[in-house]
Amino acid sequence: MGRGDKRTAKGKRAIGSHGNTRPAGKKVVKAAASAKAKKTAKKG
């Protein structure tokens, strides 16, 4: 299990694919950033 294994994050990085172990997008980070922006907008 290493670079040649499709099931590990290291293997997916080597192959350049995405899946459960290596998600493609960072949707959670965007949602958290927009929620923080809404909170600061309310204060001002």
| pTM, entire model | 0.47
What is the gyration radius of the CA atoms in the chain, in angstroms?
Answer: 17
CB 22 within 8 A of CB 12: yes
Q: How far apart are CA 36 and CA 44, in angstroms?
A: 13
CB 41 within 8 A of CB 35: no
Q: How far apart are CA 29 and CA 8, in angstroms?
A: 22
Q: What secondary structure letter does DSSP report for 7? A: T
Residue given tokens 């694919």 in the structure block: 17
12-44 pLDDT tens trace: 999 999 999 999 987 655 556 667 667 667 665
Listed by start position, the domains of the chain span 9-43
Please give the pLDDT value at position 29. Answer: 53
